[in-house]
Every structure is written in C-alpha cells, then in structure tokens.
Amino acid sequence: MKFGHLAAIGFLATAVLSAPVIAKDEQAYVVVNEEMSVPVFPYDITDRPYVVVAPIKAGVRKATIFSKEPSQQKIYNEVWEKAEKLDADAVVNVTYGDAHMTAMSWGKTNALGIAIRFLTEEEIVSGKAGETAPDPSTYTKEMFKKANKRPK
C-alpha cells in the first residue's frame, strides 16, 4: 500500500516538474506571414511606418545532389534567422531563385530581402518619418555587399 502511494507521489512530482520542459516556447512576432509562420514577406508592408534596418542575404544549400530544392518555408526561415539577429520586426520584398551548383554545394538557393523595424508610437507622435524599402527590381550587388550587418 505504501509503495503504491510513493509511486503515485513520485509520478505526480515527475509530471509537475517536467511540465515546463514539455511546454512549447511560442514566440510572438509583431506581424507574421500566415502561410510561413515567420515575419517574412515577398512584398512591401504599406499599412505601418517602418525604418530599414539592413539588407538581408541568405543562402540555403542542398545536402546532396539527390536532395530536393529548398522549400519556400526553409528559405524564409533562413532569411528570418539572419534578420532576427539584427532585432528586425520583419523582412520585406524577399526574392529568391532556383538552386544552382557552387564549388562548395550540390545546390544553393540565394535569397535577398530588406529587414525592417516598425516605428513605435512615441516615434510616430514625435514626427519621425517612415521609410520605404527598395523594390526588388532595383536590387544591386552593391546594395547587398554589407548584408546582414547593422549600418554604423
């Protein structure tokens, strides 16, 4: 009888103590692309003022020659990972092409975008003007030479 009670207490203690470990860490974003679950968009956001943080450049590689091309989800996740390090709220005007062979990879897909940070209420009230991200048709190699770095 005592063994049964001890076993039940041990089980409950284990369940209670392990609950925080099991709980999934949900991250709340300022905005989110519903299809991709990350704040990465192939278009510009025009309904909220923002400032440009930095250009973002990401490359996603295939593991082997037989692997499929990276999915849009994987590409957007990689873009967001780079932008998140710069404290960006979102990435807009993201473009990417087909996978191509490189000296170091069986296939690599490059993606380009612009990391942005939304203006706070205080900034809007103080009169700070929002910016507009460059259109993908105007992207140049020069623009992305210092990609993924915060401007000084």
50-144 homologous superfamily: Hypothetical protein apc22750. Chain B (3.30.110.70)
Spell out the residues 6+ positions from residue 82 whose beta carbon is closer than 8 angstroms to its own.
56, 57, 58, 115, 148
Structure tokens at 112: 């380009």
Any idea where the domains of the chain sit in the sequence? 50-144
136 neighbors 55 (Cβ within 8 angstroms): no
Q: Mapping DSSP to helix (H, G, I), strand (E, B) and coil, where does residue 110 land?
A: strand
Q: Give the tens place of pLDDT for each residue, 7-30.
A: 445 544 454 444 444 444 456 676
* Residues 41-99 pLDDT 10s: 999 999 999 999 999 999 998 878 888 888 999 999 999 999 999 999 999 999 998 87
